[in-house]
């Protein structure tokens, strides 16, 4: 059984990481191009962030997306980050049980689940679930971040939109692209779609 972050807990976690990083709400909002009021509503759980907004917030804080899942970790805690949901049955071997998995529910019902037992420096490993009609952000809202993306659709169909075209992928299809290439993910079907993501390289965030 997975543990889902309540919306107010997600907002409180974002606020805690921002404060720990020593960055004001106004400064983060300015870099995101939104009002301080809008960011405050995300931090208080009034507004639910989209995939793209959450990734952008973590990028401004220069923190890996996986930090959102571990409420006991401070932004100043040096990598490799230890995960309270993982155990070490054998020396240097991290194990996370399915019944302790953490998920984050985002705008439009998109669900993110971290697949690595513990955050890995320079690497993000996630599963994303897109309900029918869901997208990573609003129409025309392309996501740009650091690193290199590779993903595989494990269920349903997802459309990957880029400024210069789009690609539709079904079960078993995979895709790779630099995360600096503006992109948006959409489920145009009536079925739930699931994808597994690996982000590697220079970035601190995942797609």
Instruction: Please give the residue that has the higher pLDDT: either 120 or 131.
Output: 131
Average pLDDT for 6-32: 89
- Residues 162-192 as b/e (b if ≥16 CB within 10 A, e otherwise) read eeeeeeebeeebebeeebeeebbbbbebeee
Given a contact cutoff of 8 angstroms between Cβ atoms, the answer to whether 162 and 183 are in contact is yes
Percentage of the chain modeled with pLDDT above 90: 47
The reported pLDDT for the residue numbered 91 is 77
pLDDT at 5 over 90: no
Q: Break the chain into its structural domains and give their ranges.
A: 3-73+85-200
Residue 7 has pLDDT above 70, yes or no: no
**Residue 97 confidence (pLDDT):** 79
- Tens-digit pLDDT profile for residues 84-127: 556 777 877 878 777 777 788 888 889 998 888 876 778 889 99
- DSSP string covering 148-159: EEEEEEEES-EE
Is-contact 160 175, C-beta < 8 A? yes
Residues 183 and 151: their CA atoms lie apart, in Å, by: 13
Task: Tell me if 183 sits within 8 A of 161, measured CB to CB.
Answer: yes
The whole model's pTM is what?
0.77
| pLDDT digits 0-9 by tens, 23-78 | 999 999 999 999 999 999 999 989 989 888 998 998 899 888 878 877 666 555 44
At 144 the pLDDT is: 87
Distance between CA atoms of residues 123 and 115, nearest Å: 11
What's the rounded Cα separation, in Å, for the pair 204 and 199?
9
Secondary structure (3-state) at 37: helix
Say what the pLDDT of residue 84 is: 53
Q: Does the domain at residues 3-73+85-200 carry the CATH identifier 1.10.150.120?
A: no
């Amino acid at each position: 059984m997975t543990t889902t972050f309540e919306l107010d807990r997600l907002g409180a976690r974002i606020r805690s990481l921002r404060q720990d990083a020593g960055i004001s709400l106004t400064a983060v909002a300015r870099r995101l191009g939104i009002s301080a009021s809008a960011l405050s509503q995300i931090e208080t759980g009034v507004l639910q962030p989209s995939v793209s907004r959450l990734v952008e917030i973590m990028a401004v804080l220069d923190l890996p997306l996986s930090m959102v899942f571990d409420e006991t970790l401070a932004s100043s805690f040096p990598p490799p980050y230890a995960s309270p949901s993982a155990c070490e049955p054998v020396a240097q071997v991290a194990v996370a049980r399915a019944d302790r998995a953490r998920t984050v529910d985002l705008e439009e019902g998109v669900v993110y689940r971290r697949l690595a037992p513990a955050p890995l420096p320079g690497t993000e490993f996630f599963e994303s679930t897109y309900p029918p009609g869901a997208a990573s952000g609003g129409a025309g809202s392309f996501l740009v971040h650091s690193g290199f993306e590779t993903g595989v659709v494990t269920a349903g169909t997802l459309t990957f939109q880029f400024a210069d075209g789009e690609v539709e992928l079904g079960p078993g299809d995979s895709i790779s692209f630099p995360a600096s290439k503006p992109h948006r993910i959409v489920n145009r079907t009536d079925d739930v779609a699931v994808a597994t993501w690996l982000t590697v390289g220079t970035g601190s965030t995942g797609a």
